């Protein structure tokens, strides 16, 4: 999805959630600057294209069903591409599964995500107005491969990208679709349920979280049924 297509939806989200668009833009500038300083392990888009294009991709969300689904379907994850949305990384590590990609705004256990990155997970770190401090702390710690994303216009930047999507879960799907996954299988996704343990949102604004889940559902519903399935 190009930004001109995404902008209309983003503007609706800004209005609905009362976000500060200027703070999102500042976050984009900060992430761009950080990446300039820490380019050693920054990847090209070709790395993700080679990994994802024409592959079956499992995307792991943080609904309460996540851990039971992992246990039930362990054998299905072999020889497929695994994308963890933020906190879902910790659930996968519990079962000795290293995701290929972690899409994160660093709400979850960052230590787990850094550890997985050191074991070859690609970190896709997302910057927005509410997470600038943790982004600034984390980027210098990254020793493995990584990429940076934002939710504003990326056209004035060199390093940061915008593939569409808003929450970690639906941004993972937008990323898989951008790189032309053949099939996307959602694991631990239930936008109508309460946030699960691995969302690490227990002490956050629950009304705002429910609005974010509603947007996640709305955004996922844009994709054709032939592309996305649930387990």
Residue 210 Cα distances to 4, 30, 111, 175, angstroms: 27, 28, 26, 23
Tokens at residue 3, please?
């930004």
Task: Measure the CA–CA gap between 151 and 168, rounded to whole angstroms.
Answer: 11
Which strand (E) or helix (H) includes residue 140?
none
Please tell me the least confidently modeled range out of 9-18, 79-88, 100-109, 189-198.
189-198
Residue for token digits 């996640």? Answer: 216
The upper half-sphere exposure of residue 174, i.e. CA atoms within 13 Å in the direction of its Cβ, equals 27
Q: Sorting pLDDT into bands at 50, 70 and 90, what band is 11? A: very high
pLDDT of 202 above 60? no
pLDDT of 212 above 70? yes
Residue 208 pLDDT: 81
Q: Sorting pLDDT into bands at 50, 70 and 90, what band is 210? A: confident
pLDDT of 154 above 80? yes
Residue 95 pLDDT: 95
> For the purposes of burial, counting CB atoms within 10 Å of the CB of 192, is it exposed (0-12), middle (13-18) or buried (19 or more)?
exposed
Cβ–Cβ < 8 Å for 48, 179: yes
Task: Select the CATH number that applies to the domain covering 3-230 from these four: 3.30.950, 3.40.50, 3.30.390, 3.90.1480.
Answer: 3.90.1480
Q: Sorting pLDDT into bands at 50, 70 and 90, what band is 194? A: low
pLDDT of 220 above 60? yes
Q: Sorting pLDDT into bands at 50, 70 and 90, what band is 91? A: very high
Tokens at residue 154, please?
């990326």
**Domain locations in the chain?**
3-230
Angle at alpha carbon of residue 222, lines to 217 and 227, rounded to 5°: 100
Rounded to a whole number, what is the distance in angstroms from the first to the last CA of the chain? 26
Residue 190 pLDDT: 83
Tokens at residue 14, please?
């800004």
Q: What is the pLDDT of the chain when averaged over all its residues?
A: 93
> What is the average pLDDT across 178-200?
83
Write the secondary structure of 152-188 as one string of H (helix), E (strand) and C (coil): CCCCCCCCCECCCCCCHHHHHHHHHHHCCCCEEEEEC
Residue for token digits 């996922």? Answer: 220
Residue 57 pairs in a beta bridge with: 81, 184
> What is the average pLDDT across 166-183?
97
């Amino acid at each position: 999805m190009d930004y001109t297509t995404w902008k209309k939806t983003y503007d609706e989200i800004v209005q609905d959630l009362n976000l500060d668009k200027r703070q999102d833009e500042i976050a984009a500038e900060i992430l761009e600057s950080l990446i300039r300083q820490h380019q050693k392990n920054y990847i090209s888009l070709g790395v993700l294209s080679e990994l994802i294009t024409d592959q079956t991709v499992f995307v792991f969300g943080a609904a309460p069903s996540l851990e039971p689904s992992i246990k039930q379907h362990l054998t299905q994850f072999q020889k497929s591409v695994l994308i963890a949305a933020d906190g879902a990384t910790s659930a996968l590590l519990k079962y000795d599964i290293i995701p290929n990609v972690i899409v994160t705004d660093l709400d979850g256990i960052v230590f787990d995500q850094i550890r997985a990155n050191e074991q070859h997970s690609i970190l896709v770190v997302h910057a927005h107005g509410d997470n600038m401090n943790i982004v600034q702390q984390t980027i210098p710690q990254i020793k493995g491969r990584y990429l940076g994303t934002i939710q504003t216009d990326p056209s004035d930047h060199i390093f940061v990208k915008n593939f569409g999507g808003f929450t970690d879960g639906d941004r993972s799907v937008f990323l898989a679709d951008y790189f032309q996954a053949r099939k996307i299988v959602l694991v631990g996704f239930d936008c109508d349920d309460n946030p699960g343990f691995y969302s690490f949102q227990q002490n956050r604004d629950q009304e705002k979280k429910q609005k974010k889940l509603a947007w996640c559902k709305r955004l996922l519903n844009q994709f054709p049924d032939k592309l996305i399935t649930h387990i």
